[in-house]
Structure 1
Amino acid sequence: MPKTAAELHDYLASLGIEVKTVTHPPLFTVADSQNLRGEIAGGHTKNLFLKDKKDNFFLVTVEEDAIVDLKTIHTVIGAASKVSFGKPEKLMEYLGLIPGSVSVLGAINDSEHKVSIILDEALMRHEIINAHPLTNEATTSIHCDDLMRFLKATGHDVRILSVSTAEVASA
């Protein structure tokens, strides 16, 4: 049974990790979440749940406005082949998440370490990282060092790689 947001917060507290969580109406896309920018400071995330042809799964977390080349990302993340999006059933099985709620904090549910966690190097330049706390009805702000401590505590070997480019603002 997947952990709840309350269980996630209890786990973070047990690690001595302080977070700030803001509840809001459900957010399904990056565009939806951009309406909260004045309220929540820090780096905001976009998550890609990917798989290769050998059924290796990856959760790639980047900044919300980052551009990721899905045709070549496999060469960066070490996939066995080109990647496609993982099916919702596997997202629930491995990370305890549904589409629209995908979050690096879902690593708490991956006790068998079936998913490789990849954090984009550009995202990790932010002191504060914002992610869904297992639900798209809230946003949790966590210090980048604490995010790494959390992921290590879940038993994941996290890789920080340069997987994206920032979106160019129009002039």
Structure 2
Amino acid sequence: MDRHAKSGMLAAGLISGVTAFIIYRPHLQRALRRLTMWLMETSTKPIGQNMDEHITSPQTDLPYRKQNVSENIASPQTTLPNLNQSSTNNSESSDSISETDESTSSSDEEVVLSNKISLKSSVFPGDLPDEGKELLKNLENYSIFTETVNYKPKSDRNSSDQTVYCKNLFLKDRKGKFYFFICREESNVLLRQLKYKLKAHRNFSFASQVEVEENLHVLPGCITPFVFLSETVSRDIPVAIARDLILEKRLNFHPLHADFATRISFGHLLKLFGHLKRKLIIIDV
């Protein structure tokens, strides 16, 4: 009986030990893991300090490197030509152009410059009539600076000209109300669809020459959104523009004269109408 009792007690103790091990196993594992991590941190501490010293020391040179980078970026900007400089300055800057670029025509160079350089003053030909110059001064009063060039018909334009030429339609509905619509020169406008989008009364027709002169005070070939700078133009005329022009940065409009084209971004055109407190309707065509 004693032998069997001892065997039973041994078995019970063994079972209890296994059970306790199973129950406390997660705690033992966590304790063992912490002990291992502590030993590793203690043994690698000097190495970690040395690594921190090697990592932090180069940061003292970082502002100097940033300054050099900014200088390298900023310095080429000083070589950009200014559109408002005289022809003498333009000829000096052209000396730095490669032989390949020298073979490019002057008209091509003007187009490239006008597409890349943001103007800080209006640029225009010397033979622009006084009325056109006065118009550009009025735009400058709203911090709107433009570039005016000699107008060229579509057949005479250079293929490198990436600006957008617009046509301006002065329309009248059956009740005699007038509408002003701006779109791309090549757009095929369906007047029957346009009347629904502008909520006109019945069908559209083009305003006559007399109606253009009486309402916009320009000749039919000189119709331009710049006429709305004049207080004599009725505020009851809705002005609409095609949606596909809203991202364009070079829209061509006549500066009240058919022989010239003034380039303005859509953003500045919208800014102008905001200053004039006129609504510019954007529609799909």
TM-score of the pair, normalised by structure 2: 0.50
Q: CA deviation at 1:106?
A: 1.9
State how 1:104-123 maps to structure 2 within 5 Å.
104-109=225-230, 111-123=233-245
Q: Which residue number corresponds to residue 11 of structure 1?
A: 138
Contact 1:72 1:82 survives alignment (8 Å)? no
Identity among equivalent pairs (%)? 23
| Inter-partner Cα distance in structure 1 for 2:188 and 2:140 | 33
Query: What SS class does the counterpart of residue 119 from structure 1 fall into?
Result: strand
Q: Which residue number corresponds to residue 191 of structure 2?
A: 70
Contact 1:113 1:155 survives alignment (8 Å)? no
Matching of residue 137 in structure 1 with residue 264 in structure 2: no
Query: What SS class does the counterpart of residue 220 from structure 2 fall into?
Result: coil
| Inter-partner Cα distance in structure 2 for 1:86 and 1:101 | 14
* Structure 1 unaligned regions, length at least 5: 164-171
Q: Indicate how the Cα distance of structure 1 residues 149 and 37 shifts in structure 2: closer, same or farther if over 3 A, else same.
A: farther
Q: CA deviation at 1:41?
A: 3.4
* Structure 2 unaligned regions, length at least 5: 1-129
Matching of residue 50 in structure 1 with residue 138 in structure 2: no
Higher normalized strand content (fraction of residues): 1
Greater alpha carbon shift after TM alignment, 37-46 vs 4-13: 37-46
Letter in 2 for 1:58: Y
Give the aligned length.
155
Q: CA deviation at 1:156?
A: 1.6
Contact 1:130 1:141 survives alignment (8 Å)? yes
Matching of residue 79 in structure 1 with residue 200 in structure 2: yes
Q: Which residue number corresponds to residue 284 of structure 2?
A: 162
Query: What SS class does the counterpart of residue 7 from structure 1 fall into?
Result: helix
Greater alpha carbon shift after TM alignment, 103-112 vs 59-68: 103-112
Contact 1:131 1:139 survives alignment (8 Å)? yes
| Inter-partner Cα distance in structure 2 for 1:96 and 1:82 | 24
Letter in 2 for 1:144: F
Query: What SS class does the counterpart of residue 179 from structure 2 fall into?
Result: strand
Contact 2:171 2:206 survives alignment (8 Å)? yes
Q: CA deviation at 1:71?
A: 2.4
Matching of residue 22 in structure 1 with residue 149 in structure 2: yes
TM-score of the pair, normalised by structure 1: 0.81
Matching of residue 101 in structure 1 with residue 226 in structure 2: no
Q: CA deviation at 1:134?
A: 1.0
Letter in 2 for 1:102: I
Contact 1:103 1:132 survives alignment (8 Å)? yes
| Inter-partner Cα distance in structure 2 for 1:50 and 1:148 | 21
Runs of 4 or more consecutive aligned structure 1 residues displaced over 6 Å after TM superposition: none
Query: Highest CA radius of gyration, 1 or 2?
Result: 2
> In the TM superposition, what whole-angstrom CA distance separates every residue of 1:31-83 from its partner, at most 9, and x where no partner exists?
x2452345753221011110111121111110011110122210011212211
Query: What SS class does the counterpart of residue 279 from structure 2 fall into?
Result: coil
Q: Which residue number corresponds to residue 92 of structure 1?
A: 213
| Inter-partner Cα distance in structure 2 for 1:108 and 1:39 | 32
- RCO higher in structure (CA 8 A, sep ≥6): 1
Query: What SS class does the counterpart of residue 80 from structure 1 fall into?
Result: coil
| Inter-partner Cα distance in structure 1 for 2:282 and 2:158 | 25
